[in-house]
Amino acid sequence: MRAMKQLALGLASPPAPTLDNFVIGENAEVVTALRALAQGDDRERFIYLWGGSGSGRTHLLRAVMQALHGSGRTVSLHAAPAMLGTGSADDAVGVDDVQRLDAPAQIELFNIFNELKDGSGVLVATGDVPPARLPLRPDLQTRLAWGLVYEVRGLREDDRRAALHDYAAARGFVLPAAVADYLLARAPRDLSSLRAMVDTLDRLSLEQKRGITVPLARELLQAVPPKN
């Protein structure tokens, strides 16, 4: 078990989030809007994404910021409650978990929004509830609702299961149905963590010359430190 714990500490890193590796589920309209933004469609330059934990909103934020950077934009990505600082009116700014912004950071985001609006800048923000329900100053709520607002819907269980099987198949191995069900029932629910588990199981299977089985998955989960 000690060897397993040492291996688990090196839990495989999930792939960098992109719009291509996001499992769309019921979010086709959201992804279409973000692709348009990344490709330079400036009709809608402000997008707010909201959804529950594990819905994929942070994946989408990081993915579109990376795509904007690839198109030549100067990008800044912030995770609340950190201070935001200032930027150029032509920048692309991403802010994750705006519901956690403290009072000074709310003022900063309000000012950044106005600066971006007066220029050609882009803002993509995420939160856990719609703008009107955010615990923020009213003028910032209004700004966040000014552009496109989308709920990011979490994957249904069947979609999540299919995503794990497809992910394993793309890496050249079959993930047994019993192992997928075990992970879905006991591992962290976000898809990036589940993918990291699948990658690590594949590595452990090769290193230990064992099949990818429920006992191996159980040992891995017992060895992984719980998330805070």
Per-residue pLDDT at 9 = 45
Residues 168 and 62 in one domain: no
Residues 37 and 113 in one domain: yes
Residues 171 and 129 in one domain: no
Cα 45 to Cα 34, 42, 90: the distances in Å are 10, 6, 11
Domain limits at 166? Answer: 2-13+155-223
Per-residue pLDDT at 225 = 64
**Does some domain include residue 76?**
yes
Give the number of other Cβ atoms within 10 Å of residue 226's Cβ.
6
Residues 159 and 144 in one domain: no
Residue 139 to residue 132: CA distance in whole angstroms: 10
Element (H or E) spanning 46, and its range? strand 46-50
| Boundary-marking domain end, from 151, 177, 194 | 151
Per-residue pLDDT at 56 = 92
**SS3 (DSSP) at 44:** coil
**Going residue by residue through the chain (228 aa), what tens digit of pLDDT does each one get?**
444 445 544 556 667 899 999 999 999 999 999 999 999 887 899 999 999 988 999 999 999 999 999 999 999 999 888 766 766 778 999 999 999 999 999 999 999 999 999 999 999 999 999 999 999 999 999 999 999 999 999 889 999 999 999 999 998 999 999 999 999 999 888 888 899 899 999 999 998 999 999 999 999 998 876 654
Residues 38 and 146 in one domain: yes
**Does some domain include residue 93?**
yes
Q: Are 45 and 143 in contact (CB under 8 A)?
A: no
Q: Count the domains in the chain.
A: 2
| Boundary-marking domain end, from 118, 134, 151 | 151
Residues 134 and 195 in one domain: no
Question: For 210, what's the count of Cα atoms within 13 Å in the CB-facing half-sphere?
Answer: 16
Cα 188 to Cα 15, 97, 201: the distances in Å are 16, 19, 15
Residue 109 to residue 93: CA distance in whole angstroms: 10
Residues 166 and 107 in one domain: no
| Boundary-marking domain end, from 130, 151, 172 | 151
Residue 137 to residue 116: CA distance in whole angstroms: 19
**Does some domain include residue 23?**
no
Residues 125 and 201 in one domain: no
Could you give the angle at the alpha carbon of 98 between the alpha carbons of 152 and 43, nearest 5°? 60
